[in-house]
Amino acid sequence: MIRRIPLGLVPGLLLLGMACGQAGESTASDDTDGGTTGPAPTSTGGAVAPPAADAAPPPEREVESSFEAPVATGSFVWVTNPKSGRIAYIDVRSLVVKTVEAGNGPTYLAAVPGANVDTTVVLNVLSNDASVLRATATGIDVKSVKVAKDANAWAFSADGRYAIAWADAKKRPGAPKTEGFQDLTVIDLSGATPPTVLAVGYRPVLVGFARNAPIAHAVTQDGVAIVDLATSPPRLVRNVPISATPTEDPGTRDVAVTPDGKTALVRREGSPSITAVSLETGARVEVALNGPVTDLDLTESGDRAVAVVRSTSTVAVLPIPGVLTQPTQVKNVTVTGETVGSVVLSTDGSTAMLYTNASQTERVTVMNLLATPDPTFRTVKLYSPVLAAFAAPDARHATILHDVKTLDGAFSLVPLAIDLPAKIVATKAKPTFVAMTESVAIVSERGDSQKIYGAYLAKLPSFEVERFTLASPPIAVGIVPAAKRAFVAQQHPEGRITFLDLDTGLARTLTGFELASRVVDGSKP
């Protein structure tokens, strides 16, 4: 599955959520009913029953994900209050809490990347509008913008000028097929042009922007819609089909678009081919591999993609955009002696972590994609089955969450840049969320039946780990490196966040941002 949903974060900030048992929102999977592909994980932490001896292994499970609330910018953590219409914002350094009026039912909150001041936007679901909030020397400036009905997701251009509010059908499970969720609202945050509503194809699953061109795109069940931002107002200029078969089941495919907005890559469940599509000419090329492709990931720079064939443990590296003209120029590496079906790439694209969570495999393979003439790899022994993997921004360390079948759980800290053993850490409940910087990792745990809640702070590269007890269930974690603090947002009727000082290890919990406020888990419909 493909991870291409932008996190909407500012430089120097990491806010990453991972929920075992939640559908991975970073998967751009076309699905007519808003569901997810593959077997549904159980409520005890994402574990599924092992397949029968004569049955084919299940699909790989995409459990790495990002969440929308709370949101952090360079100086503040922002928390929505859909009941009162207010937003609490917390100064990360002083931990002073203030509130500001938003709209009616502020729910879907996001940070604006590339802004020169702390800026967030929130969708107000009861009034079909959005609030743009900017920090100023005298407080928070709030502007209201009308948006299309049912919007529940955000996408941003890298420079922070444009935002698109759109409706992600995955957050509306069970919606009737007559609900197409086809309206996008293009917002020029500079105010130079008024908001524009555009109708694209049926049920978008991914919306994004070209990095260095005034172009936006929306992946839908009808293809990839291309939006020209250079015109006033912005306009839909074309729809690029991604399949030669109009009747193809869209629920079996994952789609990614390169950062330059010029190429789309399509993986179909059970298919041995990757389809590369030129979004400029509409040309399609089939890249044949040696078995069904179980996962596909794209580097942040967009210069190559990595596909995995589990049945043959083959890792294929596809050059982008070269594969469009030379589809056979693919580097294939067989990971001998291992079963690999999933891939996670480091931010810089130098390192791939390869594993399977379709079986109880206690190993991860670390591949150096920059080695010449071919990628090299080594296998790291773990002591519990792999569920999900997360790489630090500098690709020197990783956090592995384990698929433990009991009520408790575990995670491992893995050196990526040097061949050293991993460290496994037993947890008192299931690990739920992960955030990492170059120097620290935070992992939360949640056990509702045992009422056990906690967070683990790990120092890198020493792998020293300290546990902090939480009073309520964690729903997101984050790290603000500039303030040297990590935080854990928790489910609480009056709002609760615990801040951890990265230097001293001291914890401080803020409860009750305002009367009847609450932290919203934006991953829920």
pLDDT digits (tens, 9 = 90+) for 378-389: 999 999 999 999
* 1 has pLDDT over 60: no
Please tell me the distance from the alpha carbon of residue 297 to that of residue 333, in angstroms, as a whole number. 16
Banded model confidence at residue 249, pLDDT cuts 50, 70, 90 = confident
Find the range with the poorest average confidence among 68-77, 300-309, 340-349. 68-77
- 523: in domain: no
- Greater model confidence, 81 or 352: 352
Average pLDDT over residues 386-396: 96
Average pLDDT over residues 520-524: 45
The end-to-end CA distance of the chain, in Å, is 22
- 398: in domain: yes
Q: What is the mean pLDDT of the chain?
A: 86
- 5: in domain: no
User: What pLDDT score was predicted for residue 104?
Assistant: 94
- Find all residues with CB under 8 Å of 476, minimum gap 6, and list them: 15, 17, 67, 69, 70, 433, 488, 489, 521
Boundaries of domain holding 131? 14-511
- 6: in domain: no
Based on the structure, what is the number of domains in the chain? 1
How many other CB atoms are there within 10 angstroms of residue 82's CB atom? 21
- 518: in domain: no
Q: What is the pTM of this model?
A: 0.85
Residue 356: give its domain's CATH number: 2.140.10
Q: What are phi and psi of 251, to 5 degrees?
A: -75, -5
Find the range with the poorest average confidence among 194-198, 375-379, 406-410. 406-410
Secondary element (H or E) of residue 293 = strand 293-298
- 519: in domain: no
- 521: in domain: no
- 3: in domain: no
Q: What are 264-294's pLDDT values in tens digits?
A: 999 999 999 999 999 999 999 999 999 999 9
Q: What are phi and psi of 250, to 5 degrees?
A: -70, -15
3-state SS, 413-453, equals EEECCCCCCCEEEEECCEEEEEEECCCEEEEEEEECCCCEE
* 375 has pLDDT over 90: yes
